[in-house]
Amino acid sequence: MDRDYDRRDASKLPPVRLYRELEHGEQLVVAADPSEGASDYCAAVALSKRHLDCPFVYNDRTDSTQFGYELYNFCKYIFNKTGMWPRLAVERNTGQATISTLKLLNYPYLFRMIDFAATASTEGGDIGWVTTGSWSAGELVGTRRKMLDDLASAIKQKRIKMYDEEQIRQIMAFRWYRGGGRQQSNKKDDLLFATGIAWQLQLVTPEQYLDDFDREEFIKDQAKWRFK
């Protein structure tokens, strides 16, 4: 990786960044990390199940409520290009306002938390991804560990492809270690965690094809909403 990424200024990058054309019928998932305040960055990463790459990212300072509208339009662009709504996971820890906005807009494919401790991962919890972590016997346990360990393995095995400068910079700046990891002081990690959630999401999202979606019904539903 190019070490010059460490010197890039994220504030000079456009908030929405598309790195290749999305394909008709291509299935993507989207993970979102809302901000903790108006001055903090929100992040969204779209990951393709077909190519295992991240062709579309969002990263900007905005409050969690407005992020819900931005996120809907981000996913609507994917739908218009692929014909399929992406499954969307919003980190619930700081994203209740974002989730409320998406529910108000009747977003059709919101992720509900999976019980990873179950014999077979089943979805049935509240809407959104929950990042948990606690220390046990000197190691971090919870969804944070699973998310970071699985992402680290995917990167090491070159199973995931990324194009975004800021996304790569955050991953390079992260201090990885067994059972966890932490970001260096004064370094951002919103795109890192959005990428980790996106990787989990593609692992648990079943393959779907364009015929599985009722396009006319979705278009009719969209017509009910107006966006500022």
The pLDDT of residue 144? 86
Specify if 200 maps to a domain.
Answer: yes
Specify if 210 maps to a domain.
Answer: yes
Q: How far apart, in Å, do the first and last CA atoms of the chain sit?
A: 39
Residue found under tokens 């931005």: 70
pLDDT of 49-92, one tens digit each? 999 999 999 999 999 999 999 999 999 999 999 999 999 999 99
The pLDDT of residue 159? 97
Range of the domain at 24: 14-132+194-222
Specify if 217 maps to a domain.
Answer: yes
The pLDDT of residue 70? 95
pLDDT digits (tens), the chain, 228 positions:
333 333 445 555 689 999 999 999 999 999 999 987 666 799 999 999 999 999 999 999 999 999 999 999 999 999 999 999 999 999 998 889 999 999 999 999 999 987 565 544 455 578 999 988 755 545 556 788 889 889 999 999 999 999 999 999 999 888 765 545 454 445 688 999 999 999 999 999 988 876 665 555 545 544 444 332
The pLDDT of residue 160? 97
User: What is the phi/psi pair of residue 213, to 5°?
Assistant: -105, 135
Specify if 31 maps to a domain.
Answer: yes
Number of structural domains (the chain) is: 1
CB of 116 closer than 8 Å to CB of 143: yes
CB of 130 closer than 8 Å to CB of 100: no
Specify if 199 maps to a domain.
Answer: yes
pTM for this entry: 0.81
The pLDDT of residue 208? 80
Specify if 92 maps to a domain.
Answer: yes
Specify if 68 maps to a domain.
Answer: yes
The pLDDT of residue 202? 94
Which residue type does 50 have? Answer: R
Specify if 50 maps to a domain.
Answer: yes
